[in-house]
A and B are shown apart, each in its own frame.
Chain A
Amino acid sequence: MAKASTARAKPSLLKRLYPKAKTDLEIFLLLYIPLIVITVAFIVPLLTIIPEAAKADYKGLLSNVYYLELDKYSVNRFVVVNKLPNEIRVTINGFDFGVIGNSIINAAIVTIIAAILGSSLALLIGIYRFRGRRVFSVLAYIPLLIAPFVNAYVVKVVFAPSLSPQGNTLSYLLNHLFEPLLGKKLIIAFDKQAGVALAQILMFYPIIYINTLAALGAVDATLVEQALNLGARGLKLLRRIVLPLVVPGILAGSTLVFILSLEDVGAPLVFNYDKMISYQVYQFFQSAAAGDRATIAALSLILLTAAAIPLVFIRRYLSLRYYARLARGAPRPFQGIRLGKAGYLVAYLVFLPIVVAAATPQIGVIILSLSKRWVGPLPDLLPAHNLLANFHAIVSDPGLRRAITNSLTYLGEAIIFVAILGFMTGYAIARARLPGAGLLDILASLPLAVPGLVVAFSYFVFFSKYSLYGFFDPFLNPGHVLVLAYIIRKMPFTVRSVFTSVIQTPEELEEAARSLGARRARVIRRIVLPLVWYGIVAGLLLSSIYILSEVSVSVTIGALKGGPIANPSTHAAPITYAIAEIFTLPSVTGGTQPQARAAALAALLMITEIAVIAIASRLARRGQALITL
């Protein structure tokens, strides 16, 4: 008997899977359905970019200075200083390395600066106790509210060159101080690449802040106290104890920022800076996809490759297990040490201006939504009795109303699938001990790391080929493609939340029911769901707001049937595209600025986000970890 069993060779994969499929069908389905769905609906379309991009003329592309230019002309207009009799104009333009060079180098610079700002702010707030800490931390969260396009617009009026003789808002404010001092006006402005970078840094640095803070939350107080006892002080404590623990968080956040910067359409569009890959892809869809497809495919592939490189380094942190450890936090989180005098100076003179500047766009969006226009240094507020005029205008515009209904319809459809697939995925990764569970763990988070524009373009190519005149035809049914993109791109938030709640529930609770004779389906219904529902709901809420505020696919695929202005009664565009479209409208002299209406839409979005994040973090208990990569 013993011989028989030891002689048994390791059976083939299929042979090993078969008994499980027969006897525990549920876990089989829970694991392999999402695995197949993600592969077919995400990985396969993504791969279709490759043959498409193979048609491009790379030699021509890379030798064309429009796409790639690395010489002294790239940086010769980095800063331009104009000394006029009454004023000094300093305009920071940044560099121009061509479309490809710009996207990648800009993303790298944005990432590095955001990483320095975000992590040092997180260390300040996470490690030290000081007066005003709460104010800092609330301000630091504000830029996380997504107000697509409008936030970049506010950065533009505050920081970009202005036609007004007073300069932009920043110069206007600073000159109250400088003009008496220098006897001249000092006009500082950010334009072109520098403007894009500034907008992105202010927008994205909190992502690193929040990732670092989450990692700090997992630092055990005992560890720090031990180090303090051993005589580690100040910087040494930071370097030896804290940094090694938070570096993964910083890396994970930085990767996300790098990707978000690469795919950001908002800032280039608002600064009207078309020499970036994201803008090129956006334009391609604006012209109803009539442009040079091979070049766009090549650019998408470059975008995808650029986004993939840092991923290789942080592969480990993409795993849900790493994430769940962070979300759980330390048994006894470190409470902080008191900040010294020099620390106070740094906090209030260096960091306060930064967090205030970074919160400006979101605050500006609210102000703009209550204004008639804001083109000069100061907004032109609406009269008090008509303060909500922009909001009324939205509701009475059939095209915009349709955009809102579209968004809500897409959300409703997508969220059902997100709930089902997200639960299956999160549960299967936590519980399935079958081949493929590890793969699903990685695939489930991968959509977070693939630029949305690449997803949009790959869906476009894939479905216009394989679903021509069909359900997913991007020209006939862009809504269907959008819903699919929303499901795939925003499901990871639900998966994470489900996974974290499931692994925090002892498996014995399920096993006890199984041993009493309950099939897995029943165990899930009677034991798992009642215990983890809050995690599911928290995840769904987060997925919802990210669906509502999704930009990349919305402004590309979403535009294929026209927008609220061109086709008010038949368009398939969601809210974010409506905002984008309004931004390209010319201002009418004297009338209400169209951007103000866009701001009102964005303000509605932000209010929804605040409410939802508040509820979700209550449900999941640890709000900050929820949003990390």
Chain B
Amino acid sequence: MGFIQVEDVVKRFGRTLALRGVSLSIEKGELFAILGPSGCGKTTLLRIIAGFEVPDSGRIMFEGRDVTELPPDKRGTVMVFQNWALWPHMTVYENIAFGLRLRKLPREEIDRRVKWVLDLLGLRGMEKRYPGQLSGGQQQRVALARALVVQPRVLLLDEPLSNLDAKLRLRLRGELRKLQRKLGITMIYVTHDQEEAMSLADRIAVMRNGVVEEVGSPEQLYSNPSKLFTAMFLGRTTLVLGKVVDTEDRTAVIQLGEIQVKAINHGLGKGDTAALVVKAEGATTRQPHSPGDYTVLRGTVSVSMYIGSFIEVRLAIPGLEKDILLDLPSDEKEPPIGSELEVYVPLRNMHAYPAEEEIVKEALEQA
């Protein structure tokens, strides 16, 4: 039994089914990320955990206790909102001290704790300002400070860094991770930014359309996703359809247009239609040292662009409707458009799944 247990939660808003039976188990002291595209129900799930919404069915348990109907002020979960929700009529100091005053701490203690968190987040000297007089990044940090200062058991963060510029985002991400470790806070972190989820989280739940597709550590989800959607969603990927012509122990041989490729097999049998996900990275035109770990894609170059850290290539495979996106190392020769090319792709970047209609349709429509 996890520290926080989400059991088969369903939530409907009028006609929209925002959550269609979500279950999760989150451990104490864990930094748990919820990752998924816009509108998949992340915020709704977080708000149910926080107590702002009551699910239509299902339960929320904290340490084995049913808190489904418990109002937010009784849960000990503190939430940081996507739009920060700073109180415009209070100064930075008052905003941060609010939670401490609620806990009826002595004045000196409040002062000490506020100072501590101001230092921690580099907000010293801003105590007397109102939120309207701060920059976006500063407001963001005040919102974090307001939550962190009460040292909650559980901190819920809804895309807390999404409104910041890339540099600040990176720095705060690091600080957040350090703090979480130091204070041992259980954090649930909602984001649609996969890189953020990967770099921060102990575990990630990937959500799609009101359901949790898969839960796992970042490495696990990235290198060996067990679900088609996870494979698609993480990294720069191309999804194409093929036919399984043969299966071996962990791999499958797939007819892809006029060529045959090998891919890691996730439950396909001979003759099945395969949804093949190809990750762009790790591809090379040079003969690798251990060719057994690679499979070869052969086709015509339709796009070739020097990006800087890599060369982006789109490879048109004869008989295949969609071009495959591949990143070649930038020290390799930029292949001319229209030329025939043979690319080695690591086997660990080729994953084949049963073709779930909905996901395949969506992916093919996007292209």
Contacts and interface: CB of A to CB of B under 8 A. Distances in A.
Given A5-B58, A508-B83, A514 B8 contact: no
A476 interface: no
A537 B26 CA distance: 47
Nearest to B55: A5
Nearest to B56: A10
A522 B74 CA distance: 14
A560 B103 CA distance: 56
Contacts of B98: 513, 516, 518, 526
Contacts of B7: 1-2, 5
Q: Which of A506, A513, A516, A519 is packed against the most chain B CB atoms within 10 Å? A: A516
Interface string B236-256: 000000000000000000000
A517 B72 CA distance: 7
B23 interface: yes
Contacts of B103: 517
A2 B85 CA distance: 35
A290 B85 CA distance: 62
A530 B85 contact: no
Contact of A511 (B70, B81, B89, B146): B81
A527 interface: yes
A8 interface: yes
A55 to B, nearest CB: 47
B223 interface: no
A516 B102 contact: yes
Given A1-B8, A2-B23, A515-B79, A509 B57 contact: no
Contact of A531 (B58, B59, B88): B88
Interface in A498-524: 506, 508-509, 511-520, 522
B78 interface: yes
Contact of A517 (B73, B89, B146): B73
A19 interface: yes
A531 B83 contact: no
A512 B8 contact: no
A392 interface: no
A531 B59 CA distance: 35
Q: Which of B58, B74, B78, B85 is packed against the most chain A CB atoms within 10 Å? A: B85
Interface in A1-30: 1-2, 5-6, 8, 19-20, 23-24
A24 B81 contact: no
B91 to A, nearest CB: 13
Number of chain A interface residues as a range: 20 to 34
Interface string B82-100: 0101111100000000110
A371 B102 CA distance: 64
Nearest to B75: A515
B122 interface: no
B87 A515 contact: no
Given A5-B57, A5-B59, A531-B88, A514 B81 contact: no
Given A1-B8, A508-B83, A514 B57 contact: no
A515 B71 contact: no
Interface string B319-346: 0000000000000000000000000000
A515 B147 CA distance: 9
B69 interface: yes
B69 A516 contact: no
B138 interface: no
A6 B50 CA distance: 22
Contacts of A526: 98
Contact of B72 (A2, A20, A511): A511
B69 A512 contact: no
B306 interface: no
A508 B89 CA distance: 15
B85 A6 contact: no
Nearest to B74: A23
Contact of A23 (B8, B71, B156): B71
Given A1-B8, A5-B57, A519-B73, 7 more contacts: A23-B70, A511-B52, A511-B81, A512-B81, A513-B87, A516-B73, A516-B99
The 8 A-B residue pairs whose C-beta atoms are closest, nearest first, are A516-B99, A508-B85, A19-B69, A512-B85, A515-B79, A514-B72, A2-B8, A24-B71
10 contacts: A5-B57, A5-B59, A509-B85, A513-B98, A515-B73, A515-B79, A516-B99, A517-B73, A519-B73, A522-B102
